[in-house]
Amino acid sequence: MSIFKNGIFTRLFLASLASQLGTTIGNMAFAFYLLDRFAHQPNLAAAAELMYALPTLFVFLFTGVLADRVNRQKIAIWSDWIRAGLTVLLLIAVFYNSLFVIFLILFLRAGVSKFFAPAEMAILQGVLQKEEYQKAAGLNQMLFSVFMIFGMGMGALAYQTIGIQGAVVIDGISFVISALLIQWCRISQEVNLPNGPAKMKDLYPAASLRDFREGLLYVGQNKLLLSIIIGFFFFGFINGALAIIPLYSMKFKLEPEHYQWYASLFSIFVGIGFIIGSSIGTMIANKVKPYVTIIFGLFVTGLLIGSMGYISNTWIYFLFTVLTGAFLAPLNVAFAGWLPSIVDPKLMGRVNGLIEPVMMLAQSAALGVIAAISPTILPSPDGIYLLIGIVLLAVGIYYLIVLPALSRKNEASLSTEAEIKA
């Protein structure tokens, strides 16, 4: 808990908590509202989910670039204030049941939200000590896990008690609280503007594309960093697979009569596993090399997921689900905590801005592969679990070969730089 002695981190953590709480309640309540109010169009709930994800394709070129060129604290603050203002418009659109305006505002809010994370992560890199990065990643992972477990329940409770208007109000208030908490942080100019004040010519689309290309080249030339970004790709691949495969298992094998109920339990059990694993990942952060956690996690997770297709008892399946979450979480903590320790602060925004589109691409690829091979090539989900397990084991072998050497090379390079500065 010593990390909370850092006042800036505490405010940023509470801001993230407030923002995620409001967004989770609002998004879940919105799904129930669409299913109730427009029951004859159940596809609208899926369309709403698309409005949360689709903006990534339109803004990913600029989110990281702006986080490196413009005051990072102001980006985070204005992201919250703009979303709060859009939420007021959303409340009006809900009152008039204007679907077009509702979906437009959801799209715009999601687009604005994409600018928040690169700026916040870049600030955290500057205000935390190197040994605290993985602790912060573990705490953020635990926060994500809590919302994974209770998100649907909180959304349902809000919708049933205060209605969609009340849930949207909570959503808007959460952005205001987040903005105020970040505004109360005293962050040095060196952290906020590592590349110095931006000029207008630096913000033109052509300049932004040039900066984005510079970030890509930076990642491509740093083999260790490239390996970590590849790790996020495979983490996105796992997320995509686990979003649909449990539903197949319940529908066609384990619980065909009540598959909706048991499929919803999956997210609760994997969330429990993530909380356990995040706690473990945070405790061992400074005792075990990140690559050891990553390699071990990939091997064990590969074996667990590969075995899940051959389980015929629902509760044993859920036991394996908890174990999978418990080993996946430290793996993610290791990736997220290792990243800021090897990235130049002047390029942190651009590097972090690559992660979400990479993970989104991986999730889409996983869903596309599953759609393509099922049920023609692999008629049952059992083979898909085995395929995912084999992929993870192959990645684990690759990392076993390359990561230890790359890590030692990076540590030697940092030591040399420190000696030169001294």
* CA 230/CA 227 separation, integer angstroms: 5
> Alpha carbon of 315 to those of 225, 258, 265, 325, 404: distances in Å?
39, 14, 11, 15, 38
Q: What is the per-residue pLDDT for 39?
A: 65
Q: What is the per-residue pLDDT for 85?
A: 94
Q: What is the per-residue pLDDT for 74?
A: 93
Check whether 49 has a pLDDT greater than 80.
no
Q: Within 10 Å of residue 160's Cβ, how many Cβ atoms?
A: 10
> Alpha carbon of 349 to those of 58, 134, 137, 290, 408: distances in Å?
17, 18, 16, 22, 25
Q: What is the per-residue pLDDT for 178?
A: 94
Check whether 316 has a pLDDT greater than 90.
yes
Span 333-381, pLDDT tens digits: 888 888 888 888 888 888 888 887 888 788 777 777 776 766 565 556 6
How does DSSP classify residue 161? H
Side chain identity at 168, as an amino acid letter? V
Q: What is the per-residue pLDDT for 42?
A: 59
Structure tokens at 361: 């691409």
Q: Which residue has the tokens 């906020």?
A: 192
Per the model's pLDDT, the better-predicted residue between 147 and 416 turns out to be: 147
Span 217-265, pLDDT tens digits: 888 888 888 888 888 888 888 877 777 778 778 877 888 887 767 877 8
Check whether 300 has a pLDDT greater than 90.
yes
Rank 205-219, 372-386, 405-419 by mean pLDDT and report only the highest. 205-219
Per the model's pLDDT, the better-predicted residue between 47 and 400 turns out to be: 400
Residues with Cβ within 8 Å of 21's Cβ and at least 6 positions away in sequence, in order, are 147, 154, 174
Mean pLDDT value of segment 34-61: 73
How does DSSP classify residue 199? P
Span 265-290, pLDDT tens digits: 887 888 888 889 888 887 887 788 88
Report yes or no on whether pTM surpasses 0.75.
yes
Mean pLDDT value of segment 311-331: 91
Check whether 422 has a pLDDT greater than 60.
no
Per the model's pLDDT, the better-predicted residue between 315 and 356 turns out to be: 315
Q: What is the DSSP code string of 260-318?
A: HHHHHHHHHHHHHHHHHHHHHHHHTTTTS-HHHHHHHHHHHHHHHHHHHTT---HHHHH
Check whether 179 has a pLDDT greater than 90.
yes
Q: What is the per-residue pLDDT for 183?
A: 93
Q: pLDDT class for 174, splitting at 50, 70, 90?
A: very high
- Percentage of the chain modeled with pLDDT above 70: 91
Structure tokens at 100: 């077009």
Helix (H, G, I), strand (E, B) or coil at 187: coil
163 phi-psi bin (left φ>0, alpha ψ -120 to 50, beta other): left
Check whether 45 has a pLDDT greater than 70.
no
